[in-house]
Structure 1
Amino acid sequence: MEVTCVKEHVDGKSEISMEYNYGGAPEVTAGLSYPVAGMSIYAGVAMVLIRDDAQLPGWYPMEMFDVRDPRMPSHWLFAKYPGSEYLQALWGYEELINDEFHYDALLERDNGALVIFSNRLRGSGVADA
């Protein structure tokens, strides 16, 4: 799956999602395309996990993007979190779904998680497109 940035900011409900993940301004550029490593529903907002302009994993609201290539990798897995107030659903590569610490480790910029993220993007078939 690949998305193209159509706006570099968010409004309304999506601001909650951005505050949790970054606490700062988004690092994406309108007109550029980004391979998607995962998707989530966070606080009721559809999010995509991409490698942003800072070359780091980032969760961004889908409202910032158009879908360039809608094909999802066949190896993606899914999990739901009915007891969570914020993270409600998650799609993506194996470690994102099966390793209970990987999601947070990406946000904390843990080196091991960053290596896994990069390797999974490289294997997605669109990372170098």
Structure 2
Amino acid sequence: MKVQVISNSGGQLPLPMLDSKWGLTREKVFPLSVGKEYTVHAITALKEVFWYYLLDERDLPYPVWYPSPLFRVSDGSLPAHWVVNHTANAMTQDRVGSSLITFKEWANDPSFYERLVEGEPGTVAVFRNERDMSA
């Protein structure tokens, strides 16, 4: 899946998405290049919109999530090997948690992203392989 940046400004986000405790303010400038196309590595839903995980302009070795209103979908096809999973929040009694659409190693492992950010070699290798397949 590919998306193209139409805005990198919090000023373009819908009012219900703004939340200062999340850093989502009208003044926020996201490290994205307007007009550039990015590969989506995972999709989640929060605050009633999709969020796309992608490699941004900071050149981090892991994808970061961004709200979908900042983008136009340029290629909506999903890789055939992606799966959907939902993880309940163990801290609450309700079923609120997180849903994720991505490759199975990430979707089926609640600690995958944390290990990726921490640079765990096996997890990094899995992500690099997936990234290279979707390039």
TM-score above 0.5, yes or no: yes
Q: What's the % identity of the aligned pairs?
A: 25
Q: CA deviation at 1:16?
A: 4.2
Q: Structure 1 unaligned runs (5+)?
A: none
Give 1:74-89 correspondences, 5 Å limit.
74-81=80-87, 83-84=95-96, 87=98, 89=99
State the match for 2:43 in structure 1.
39
State the match for 1:66 in structure 2.
72
What is the aligned-residue RMSD (CA, Å)? Answer: 2.6
Partner SS, residue 121 of structure 1: helix
1:16 touches 1:43 (CA, 8 Å); kept in 2?
no
Q: Deviations over 1:13-63 (max 9, x none)?
A: 33449927xxx7421110101001110102322111111111231101111
Separation in structure 2 between the aligned mates of residue 45 and residue 18 of structure 1, nearest angstrom: 18
TM-score by length of 2: 0.74
1:77 touches 1:91 (CA, 8 Å); kept in 2?
yes
Is residue 94 from structure 1 mapped to residue 104 from structure 2 by the alignment? yes
2:3 touches 2:37 (CA, 8 Å); kept in 1?
yes
Greater RCO (Cα-Cα under 8 Å, separation 6 or more): 1
Q: Structure 2 unaligned runs (5+)?
A: 89-94
Separation in structure 2 between the aligned mates of residue 17 and residue 33 of structure 1, nearest angstrom: 27
One-letter code aligned to 2:32: V
Q: CA deviation at 1:9?
A: 2.0
State the match for 2:119 in structure 1.
111
One-letter code aligned to 1:5: V
**Alignment length, in residue pairs?**
119
1:39 touches 1:91 (CA, 8 Å); kept in 2?
yes
Q: Deviations over 1:68-120 (max 9, x none)?
A: 111110000101246225x3x210012211112013334xx211344433321
Separation in structure 1 between the aligned mates of residue 71 and residue 47 of structure 2, nearest angstrom: 18
State the match for 1:49 in structure 2.
53
Q: Are residues 17 and 33 of structure 1, via their aligned partners in 2, closer, same or farther at CA, if it must alter by over 3 Å?
A: farther
One-letter code aligned to 1:60: Y
State the match for 1:5 in structure 2.
5
Partner SS, residue 117 of structure 1: helix
TM-score by length of 1: 0.77
